[in-house]
Chain A
Amino acid sequence: MAAATQRQARSAGISYQDLISRDVVPPPRTLTLENRFEGPPTTVPVSRYTTQAFHDLEMRNMWPKVWQMACREEEIPNVGDYTTYEIGSYSIIVVRTQQGFRAHHNVCRHRGRRLCDADGHASSFICPFHGFSWNLDGSLRSVTSEWDFPHIDKKNFNLSAVQCDTWGGWVFINMDVKAEPLAKFLGDLPQHFAVWKPESRYIEAHVAKVMGCNWKVCQEAFMEAFHVIHTHPQILVGIGDENSQYDAWGNFSRAITPNATPSPHLKFKPTEQELFDSVTMRYLDQPALGEVPAGMTARAMMAAGGRMGLQPVVGDDTPISDACVSDSIYYTLFPNFHPWGGYNRIVYRFRPYQNRFDKSVMECYYLSPFAGDRPAPAKMHWLEEDQPWTDAPELGLLAKVFTQDTFNLPKVQLGLEAAQYDEVVLANYQETKIRHFHHLLKNYL
């Protein structure tokens, strides 16, 4: 009875579960799960996006107390390799040691200079100011003019500790040393990704861009398919935007938007060929990339093509379902980490830019499977606010999709800052992930 009620409170189009029940190769069990989020809120205060005071509250009460993805393991492959993760005024060193990954506040314990100015390799961290040094594990190595510091307890003069743990090839940090372990924070998320083996991917591309909006304004544009109808109309024929399924569990949420199926918003019923042409971005003056055979669906043809390309890479022992190569399966781990499921390569991360409430950094990684030796990870490609996404051609067509999103986002920020109302109103179902995010955020405030 409960399930029937849930189904009624959604679009009139085919449900995602009904759609995948007709697929040629069935999906993994986790894609058959449904867990609708019924909790509050359905409104969010505008001030969460538009005030330095709320930004400062997040900096004080959330960012120092929550697990965050800091880097990929492959970015610091050798003992002594380190990177820095910046969030607001905080800077964290993440380093690979003989004993595993460690993280420390990037602050000299003497007079406070940042220890590391850039990513690199070290056998110890030496402060460029007076030369105090620390071992990779954060323990004190040397004090310059040690005779002058009889008051230092050397056993308690380590770099300030930060929790550090890994999952799926990602390295996570938490500045709260008393916080729950990462595994508990993740909950069932690793089970959802087990079949896709994110630890066996490499960074094929990594692009970061300064965005002219609050970090939540930016991230929330990538947490629903509700905006496709007006922001990405060119793909509407072949995307089940309003058929998307939205779920939430613990600290993570998920949306699944089916592809090669028509949008319920359409006033006509596209043919299977039109669905295929839409998904393959066919202009009217271009030939089709393929002809959908009679009796076959565009979805089945897309899935068969995807399997053909991927099977040699992921191996024959991994069944590749239609859904895993066709659909947009986008998870969000609170607060700002967005790994996509299936064999889509996308991973997003959103952060405030420096310490500003009205600027953010949006990052897009392409994590790709590979056969043979692990390829070297791509270096981050930084785009300033005035640079178009198409300056990062390694993103392919997604750069043009982001251009459409970016056309909206600074104007959302401008509008919110001028709003004559107090609360943003969220859709009950299609904006589930945003509601779930703000539900969790409240716990930190």
Chain B
Amino acid sequence: MPSLKHPLTGAIYTLRSDGLVDVDNNGLRGVFYFDGRHHSGDLTFADPHMLLWLAGPQLPDTVVSRRSHKVT
């Protein structure tokens, strides 16, 4: 599943199959909704914009989801 490392905190954000996001901040873990609300776990705050990027409204699968270095 898509997973990103927060560039400032080092926390790992991983999208789950149920649309929630697992966040592991140096061993402290929590589960969050796409809009920043806490779902469960000891970690009670996560970056809402990271959550939104991973679990918010998504583009259709047919759209290229990564910027290529060969076109602008």
* A interface residues, Cβ below 8 angstroms from B: 229-234, 236-237, 263, 265-267, 276, 278-286, 289-290, 301-302, 305-306, 308-310, 325, 342-345, 388-391, 393, 396-397, 399-400, 403-404, 407
- A285 CA to B49 CA, complexed, in Å: 20
Closest residue on chain B to residue A388 by CB atoms = B57
CB under 8 Å from chain A, chain B span 17-65:
35, 47-50, 52-53, 56-60, 62-65
Label chain A's interface by main secondary structure.
helix
Query: Quick check: A397 and B67 within 8 Å, CB to CB?
Result: yes
Query: Quick check: A289 and B5 within 8 Å, CB to CB?
Result: no
Query: Quick check: A400 and B59 within 8 Å, CB to CB?
Result: yes
B55 to chain A, nearest CB (A): 11
Which residues of the partner chain A approach B5 to less than 8 Å between Cβ atoms? 284
Closest residue on chain B to residue A231 by CB atoms = B49
Closest residue on chain B to residue A392 by CB atoms = B59
Which of A279, A343, A399 is B69 in contact with, Cβ under 8 Å?
A279
Query: Quick check: A404 and B53 within 8 Å, CB to CB?
Result: yes
Query: Quick check: A233 and B59 within 8 Å, CB to CB?
Result: no
Label chain B's interface by main secondary structure.
loop
Number of interface residues of B (CB under 8 A): 32
A-B contacts, 30 listed (Cβ < 8 Å): A233-B49, A234-B53, A236-B8, A278-B7, A280-B69, A281-B65, A281-B67, A305-B68, A305-B71, A306-B69, A306-B70, A306-B71, A306-B72, A308-B70, A309-B68, A325-B72, A343-B72, A344-B72, A345-B72, A390-B57, A390-B59, A393-B60, A393-B62, A397-B66, A400-B57, A400-B58, A400-B59, A407-B35, A407-B52, A407-B56
- A430 CA to B64 CA, complexed, in Å: 32
Name the 3 nearest CB pairs between A and B, nearest first: A305-B69, A388-B57, A284-B3
Query: Quick check: B71 and A404 within 8 Å, CB to CB?
Result: no
Query: Quick check: B69 and A302 within 8 Å, CB to CB?
Result: yes
Query: Quick check: B4 and A284 within 8 Å, CB to CB?
Result: yes
Assess A280 versus B66: contact at CB under 8 Å? Given A399-B59, A404-B52. Answer: yes
